[in-house]
Amino acid sequence: MITSTTGPQPADFTDVRATNLAVVLRFVRENAPCSRADIAASTGLNKATVSSLVADLIDRRLVRETGLTENRVGRPATMLVLDGSPYAAAGIEVNVDYLTAVAVDLSGRRLLSWRRSFQGPAATPAQAVAEVARLARRAVARMVKEERQVLGLAVAVPGLVGVDGRVRLAPNLGWRDVDLAGDLAKALRDPGFPVQVDNDANLGALAEHRFGPFGGIGNLVYLTGEVGVGAGVILDGRLRRGGQGYSGEFGHIQIDPGGPECRCGRVGCLEAVAGIGAVVGRDAQGAPVSPAEVEPELDEVVRRARAGDRATLGMLAGVGGNLGRGVAVIANLLNPEVVVLGGYYVPLAPWLLPAAEAEIRRRTIAPEAGGCRLVASTLGYGAAALGGAARVLDSVDSGRLPHRG
Site for its own copies in 362-391 (CB under 8 A): 362-367, 370-372
> What is the nearest approach in angstroms of its own copies to the Cβ of residue 198?
14
Give residues 100-159 in contact with its own copies (rule: CB under 8 A). none
- Work out whether 233 is an interface residue with its own copies (CB under 8 A): yes
Q: Which of 334, 340, 346, 389 binds its own copies (CB under 8 A)?
A: 334
> What is the nearest approach in angstroms of its own copies to the Cβ of residue 303?
33
- Work out whether 16 is an interface residue with its own copies (CB under 8 A): yes
Q: Which of 74, 243 has the CB closer to its own copies? A: 243
Q: Which of 81, 329 has the CB closer to its own copies? A: 329
Cis status, amide bond into 33, omega within 30 of 0: yes
Distance CA(36)–CA(50), nearest Å, equals 7
Q: Is the dihedral of CA 194, 197, 202, 208 positive or negative?
A: positive
Distance CA(192)–CA(203), nearest Å, equals 22
Strand order across the 78-82 sheet = 34-35, 78-82, 63-69
Q: Which of 71, 73, 75, 258 binds its own copies (CB under 8 A)?
A: 258
Q: How many residues bind its own copies (CB under 8 A)?
A: 80
In sequence order, the 6+-apart residues with CB closer than 8 A to the CB of 310 are none
Give residues 309-328 in contact with its own copies (rule: CB under 8 A). 325, 328
Distance CA(225)–CA(281), nearest Å, equals 15
> What is the nearest approach in angstroms of its own copies to the Cβ of residue 321?
12
- Work out whether 32 is an interface residue with its own copies (CB under 8 A): no
Q: Which of 68, 79, 81, 329 binds its own copies (CB under 8 A)?
A: 329
- Work out whether 223 is an interface residue with its own copies (CB under 8 A): no
Q: Which of 21, 92 has the CB closer to its own copies? A: 21
> What is the nearest approach in angstroms of its own copies to the Cβ of residue 119?
24
Cα end-to-end distance, the chain, whole Å: 26
Q: Would you put residue 343 in left (φ > 0), alpha (ψ -120 to 50) or beta? A: left
> What is the nearest approach in angstroms of its own copies to the Cβ of residue 37?
15
Q: Which of 194, 370 has the CB closer to its own copies? A: 370
Q: List the beta strands (DSSP E) in 122-265.
A: 149-157, 160-161, 167-170, 175-178, 195-199, 220-223, 231-235, 238-239
Q: What ranges in 36-98 are assigned the alpha helix state H?
A: 36-43, 47-59
